[in-house]
Structures are given as structure tokens and as C-alpha cells.
Amino acid sequence: APSIHLSPAARSLFDEPLAIAVQGLGPRQQVTLRASLRDETGELFQATARYQAGSDGELDLSRCPALPGGSFSGLEPMGLLWALQPQRPFWRLVKRDVLSPFVLQLEVLEGHTEPPGRLLARAQHERAFLRDGVRRVPVRDGRIRATLFLPPGEDTFPGIIDIHGFGGGLFEYRASLLANHGFATLALAYYKYEDLPQKLTELHLEYFEEAVNYMLQHPQVKGPGVGLLGYSKGGEVSLAMAAFLKNITAVAALNSPVAVTSIPLCYKDKTIPSLTIYEQRIKVIDSNILDCSDIPTDAFQAPGNQSLIPIEKAEAQLLFIVGQDDHVVKSEYYATEICKLLQAQGKENFQILSYPGTGHCIEPPFFPLYPIGNHPVFHKQAVLGGELRAYSKAQVHAWPQIQVFFKKYLNDK
């Protein structure tokens, strides 16, 4: 009878590759493989791929290309994971509880028909977010609302603060995955969580400064500085922290504005106003989906513009990770222009990783593409951008680059 063989067999970390093979098929037998996963709300994500077994009845996804007609084609050993798509339109795969794994179902079905034929084999696999021994520590310290993830052992570790976008709340999945790789990582909420403000009228860097001080006072965080990993609005905040605060050693900014957007940013007696937004430039594409890529003022062209973050003041190393198909922030343009400014001032503390076919969402590896989602400012469905295969390649490439960047600059001192 056909059987599915997985390596690792029962459980792997979400950002690790999973080797998938099928044995016991007939010579050159045609089958459809289907992967299914339910998120914590019960929503179903699925991907299918069509394959033909070898003359020995074996099918190894690392050597056998998928045939046209499924969710993807070509030699894509992890395609069944990165091609997962929600049955409910515009739904995003998010992990709220990192202590429990996602459960992946894999099925082998007969033939290439639609729907596929009878079930030949089935397997189940857990995709986990915490390696054994990684500790999850809720942090309620002063005003800070966060979760600290500590790698196993009593050593000191390079410290990173992970700051998410303008949606609010506390997201732990990226911080937990980073802790598996040897970083003490603080997932930091800054609004819409517990007793933090439900709505933001301005952002105060003093709150984030408290988080930096908390990390540097922690006995297991290796000083003298910390790293910041910021996505979208979180990247904007991270760049501002590097410009105004001490002890920021390295910043990785994922699709981040380099000017203050949506709400003013304050630190001590200074306020940076937010960029002007022209709502009349919103394009509406099929069935009421917004394209907001052209609505902000160009921070580099507006004369006397006060909204640019003074990144030239930052002493930290800067890594800009940008999707060339980002429809929320002109992130590639912003990163390129700010680096030209830094270069003109004789600075060399920056690098850009730029990914074609990649939209606003850049996640750790194997998270499904999220090309259309809720716009954080207008609260309507909007184009975020991205194309399935290119996006999956970008995630797999960017994630180890982020770790190399932090290991280099947070361990050097």
C-alpha cells in the first residue's frame, strides 16, 4: 500500500524545510498530493499538486517536478506548504498561540481529475514555533506589554526587539522562531493590546526606549546594544529609534517607510509630523478593492518636508528588506533614496535586499502569500502585492539573511 514518508517524521519547526516522499505507488502512477491546515479560528488552507511516480513507484518531491494543473508546478519540494491558500477569500494565516503547533494533513489521491480520485495514503505532521527548551516569558514591566523568548541555557544571547505593523496587538510567531536560532527576542505590542491605547493619535518613542532599557538590563541579553526587527509601521518606528535613541546596534526594516506616516511621532520635545496623504489618489479595482500605492506625498520631493526620519543620525547598521511589488509603501524607492542620502554623507552603514514579485507582507519562510488584505488606515480590502512563487523564494532567502545580519553586528562588540 502507498505510504507517505516525512523527514523530520512527526514534528518540525515552521521555518524549517520538510522532506516529503511517497512510496508503494505503481510504476509511473499519476497521483494528486493535497496539503491542508486549519488555523486557530478553524479556517481551512489547502494546496494541491499533480505528480507522476517513477518507474519504481517512488515519488520524492525533492527530485520530482509537479505537473501543471495544481496550485504550482515545477521542482518545488516545499510547494505544498508555501502554496497553501485560504478557502475564505482574503484570509491571512496568523499564529496567535505559539505554544501549540499547526497540524498539517497530507493526502495522496488517485489520478489527476478534478476533484481527485480515492484516497491512497494520509499522514499528519506538526509545524511548531518553539524548539524544545526555548522559554516564553510574558513581560509586564512598567508600561511595556510584550513577550520575551529566551533560547535554551543560561548563557547571554544577542537581543532583538520585534515590532509589527499598524494593525496593533501582540504577534509572537516571528519572535519565537528567531529565539529558536539563538536570539533573546522581545515581541513588543504598542497599541490595541491589554491596557495599551486602543487608538493611536501619536506615537511616543519613550515607550520603545523603555523596551530597549528592559532588554539591556536583562541578565541574559548580551549588550552593549540591541537589534530591532520592524515590519511596515514597526520598521518606521525602528528607524526612528535608531535615529533618536542610544544602544541600537542593528536594524532590519521590512517594507518600511523612511518617513513618519499616518500619525505624528514624538520624542521628548520634538514632534515629527506625518506625511500628507491624498485620499483622492486611491484607485478602486475590481469589486471594491483599494490600491493605495500612490496616496502619500513623496517624502523626497516635497520641498521643506518635515516628515523624513533623520536616519543619518543613526549609528546602527541598517538592513532594508524590500518587496518590489509592495502596494502599501513604496519601499524599494524609499530604501534606495535614503541610502543615496546616507552615501552622500559618507556613510556606509546600510544594505538593501530587494525582491521582485514580493508585496508588502514579508514573513518567515513557508507562510502563505497574503496579496490582498485589510488596509490598516482605511480598514477596507486593499492590494498588498506579491506573486506566489517569487514571494516564497524571497521569504526563504531573506530569513537566514536577517539572522546573519544580527549575528554579525550583535556579536561583534
Both 277 and 330 in a single domain?
yes
CATH of the domain at 69: 2.60.40.2240
User: What is the residue type of 147?
Assistant: T
Both 70 and 202 in a single domain?
no
Both 103 and 177 in a single domain?
no
Both 175 and 109 in a single domain?
no
Q: Is 291 one of the catalytic residues?
A: no
Confidence check: pLDDT of 287 > 80: no
Q: Which of 98, 128, 158 is the last residue of a domain?
A: 128
Is residue 337 exposed (0-12), middle (13-18) or buried (19+ Cβ within 10 Å)? Answer: middle
Q: Which of 88, 103, 128 is the last residue of a domain?
A: 128
- How many helices (DSSP H) and strands (DSSP E) are in the chain? 6, 24
Q: Is 5 one of the catalytic residues?
A: no
Q: Which of 82, 110, 128 is the last residue of a domain?
A: 128
Point out the catalytic residue in the list 176, 232, 256, 392: 232
Q: Which domain holds residue 180?
A: 135-411
Both 217 and 257 in a single domain?
yes
Both 119 and 162 in a single domain?
no
Question: pLDDT tens digits for 350-389?
Answer: 999 999 999 999 999 999 999 999 887 888 899 999 999 9
Question: pLDDT tens digits for 249-267?
Answer: 999 999 999 999 999 999 9
Q: How far apart are CA 107 and CA 110, in angstroms?
A: 10
pLDDT bin (cut points 50, 70, 90) of residue 412 is low
CATH of the domain at 203: 3.40.50.1820
Both 57 and 181 in a single domain?
no
Both 143 and 120 in a single domain?
no
* Mean residue pLDDT across the chain: 95
Q: Is 232 one of the catalytic residues?
A: yes
Confidence check: pLDDT of 413 > 70: no
Specify the DSSP class assigned to residue 190: -
Point out the catalytic residue in the list 125, 326, 327, 375: 326
The pTM (predicted TM-score) of the whole model is: 0.96
Both 119 and 139 in a single domain?
no
Both 65 and 155 in a single domain?
no
Number of domains in the chain: 2
Per-residue cell: 66: 509537479
